[in-house]
Amino acid sequence: MKYLLSLFFVFSITVSVLAQNEQPKLVVGIVVDQMRYDYLTRFYNKYGENGFKRMMREGFNCKNNHFNYIPTKTGPGHASIYTGTTPKYHGIIANDWFDKNLGKTVNCVQDDAVLAIGTNSNTAKDGKMSPHRMVASTFADENRLFTQMRGKTIGISIKHRSAILSAGHSANAAFWLDYDHNGNGNWITSSYYMNELPRWVQDFNASDVTESYFKVWHTLYDINSYTESGSDLNTFERIFKGKESATFPYDLNTLKTKNGNYKIIAESPFGNSLTTDFAIKAIDAEALGIDAHTDVLTISYSSTDKIGHDFGVNAKETEDTYLRLDLELARLFKALDEKVGKGEYTIFLTSDHGAPNVPNYLLSKKIPAGLFDASKMFDEMNAFLEKKYKVSGLILSRINNQIFFDYNKIEQNQLNLEDLKEIVALQLLKYRLIDKVYITSEINQFEGPSGYLESLLNNGHNQKRSGDILFVYNPGVFKDTEWNRTGTDHYSGFSYDTHVPLLFFGKGIKHGQTLSKTEITDIAPTMSALLGISFPNATIGQPLEFVLK
């Protein structure tokens, strides 16, 4: 009896130590591109039981989760979620920015040192991509180091930047869709990761899965039951070429030739279905979540963003997209239950930024909003400086609400950069829709009074990469381009752009909810704490200990 008791004692100690050290077999990071927090609540009654609601029912809901920097864009968003830090430290200051050394605009993941793998020659540049401009590590990188490279990382998204920046530097693979510039509709990668597509990706590309989505987009349920959104026919939505109006149904087969072929799949909810198909295939083919070493799968759903840009926050098209995405999540969770096992994996779901209502729609409801013509301002500023100093083109770029001066011309003409900053800042303040202007210090550090918006600008300002002047529009305002006159856009530090969902569920996660403020940079240290690994190297966030068991 004594022997039996002590055996039991030893056994129970072993079990409890194991339980403490037992990691999820798989971490799945899900980013829904351009998902506002209120899409969880506005469409709640129409969601099924096994998608968003399952995450809320079984997991933890951080209801007051925000981005803590400007600009709220896709590249910085994905980088910040996975590195736990902001553009100030990870270096991804926008999707595209003016590179002061190269004297031209660069894309956040463009890399001429690598080759496209799986594209045709037309779209080769869409494959020449890597995370080389991101200077910080992601939690998946730390997991790779911790597991001696035994835990895998795979990144998947229709958008290259979303697949690449999420997966980090040491990923086994990132895959994205060759849809832009009349691409071939294949899932592709770059020589940064491999020299040939894996067999399973080649097989997926050769199958008719992608083609099968050239079909009619009807609303999932009776359109008259979509009482949470505006009327289908209105003046705030973009009309696909070949359509008379932005109204259901959308026959992708007849619209595809005039709308960039595979691009129209990316701009429909079927792009999210295709992403789920490919992700489930990857779980199988890459044997994710099978062995004892934690793997990381990052999935970013991009079509939600494209639909938002086309139709806006209040559109029937947007509501239908989220109701359909909810079913895609349910399908993904079911596959994970079957392949990895219920309770064996951990998921978080968030977004890379939100979006405001369409400015013209807000104006129609008497809420202040507007579109700002930044190209016109750029020409006017250069003309103003030319008149004053007899030097043309003193401003090189006004990208991302920043002003970049031509340092060579300033030196050649013996002008003073600090004087120019002040003169231009004063001119910028005269524009009705520009609310705030800040100039940087002589060593290009952000200099603003302390304040909420200023702290966001500071977190987004990179000493080496950011511009000489930063300006902020009024709330409800974004830049006026032909593309932006319908649908929405995002960039700002206002709550419509910063407030996004944050849901956790699965192994090691408590059930609950909070209205306490959490920040996007808290996600990576939380996942690191769950795994017991080092935080990503430049983390500024804090682990959300109330979500962890």
What residue ranges in 233-344 does DSSP mark as E strands?
250-251, 295-301
Closest approach, Cβ 265 to Zn ion, in A, equals 17
Q: Give whichever of 95 and 444 is closer to Zn ion, judged by the CB atom.
A: 95
Amino acid in the structure at residue 233: L
Q: From CA 57, how far away is CA 51, in angstroms rounded?
A: 10
Closest approach, Cβ 272 to Zn ion, in A, equals 14
Closest approach, Cβ 325 to Zn ion, in A, equals 14
**Among residues 305, 320, 406, 519, which is the contact residue for Zn ion, using CB under 5 A?**
305
Residue 104, SS3 per DSSP:
strand
> Which span (71-79, 171-179, 358-366, 377-385) binds Zn ion, by CB under 5 A?
71-79
Closest approach, Cβ 36 to Zn ion, in A, equals 12
Among positions 27-56, residues that touch Zn ion (CB under 5 A) are: 33
Q: From CA 210, how far away is CA 271, in angstroms rounded?
A: 9
Q: Which two tokens stand for residue 238?
A: 């973009």
**Among residues 50, 61, 72, 74, which is the contact residue for Zn ion, using CB under 5 A?**
74
Q: From CA 521, how far away is CA 541, in angstroms rounded?
A: 5
> Which residues are marked as active site?
74
Closest approach, Cβ 156 to Zn ion, in A, equals 15
Closest chain position to Zn ion (CB): 74
Q: Give whichever of 94 and 283 is closer to Zn ion, judged by the CB atom.
A: 94
- Exposure class string for 244-254: b at 16+ Cβ within 10 A, else e: eebbeebebee
Instruction: Count the site residues for Zn ion by CB under 5 A.
Output: 7
Q: Nearest-5° angle of CA 10, CA 16, CA 19?
A: 140
Please tell me whether residue 267 binds Zn ion under the rule CB under 5 A. Answer: no
Closest approach, Cβ 230 to Zn ion, in A, equals 8
Please tell me whether residue 468 binds Zn ion under the rule CB under 5 A. Answer: no
> Which span (22-30, 69-77, 186-194, 533-541) binds Zn ion, by CB under 5 A?
69-77
**Among residues 352, 406, 497, 519, which is the contact residue for Zn ion, using CB under 5 A?**
352
Q: Which two tokens stand for residue 499?
A: 């407030």
Among positions 116-155, residues that touch Zn ion (CB under 5 A) are: none
Q: Which two tokens stand for residue 524?
A: 């990576």
Q: Pairing mode, if any, of strands 96-99 and 512-514? A: unpaired
Please tell me whether residue 320 binds Zn ion under the rule CB under 5 A. Answer: no
The helix (run of H) or strand (run of E) holding residue 330 is helix 316-336
Residues in the chain: 549
* CB neighbour class for 145 (10 Å; exposed up to 12, middle 13-18, buried from 19): middle
Please tell me whether residue 246 binds Zn ion under the rule CB under 5 A. Answer: yes
> Which span (59-67, 303-311, 319-327, 506-514) binds Zn ion, by CB under 5 A?
303-311
DSSP H stretches of helix in 37-86: 38-42, 52-58, 74-83
Q: Give whichever of 52 and 226 is closer to Zn ion, judged by the CB atom.
A: 226
Binding residues vs Zn ion (CB under 5 A): 33, 74, 232, 237, 246, 305, 352
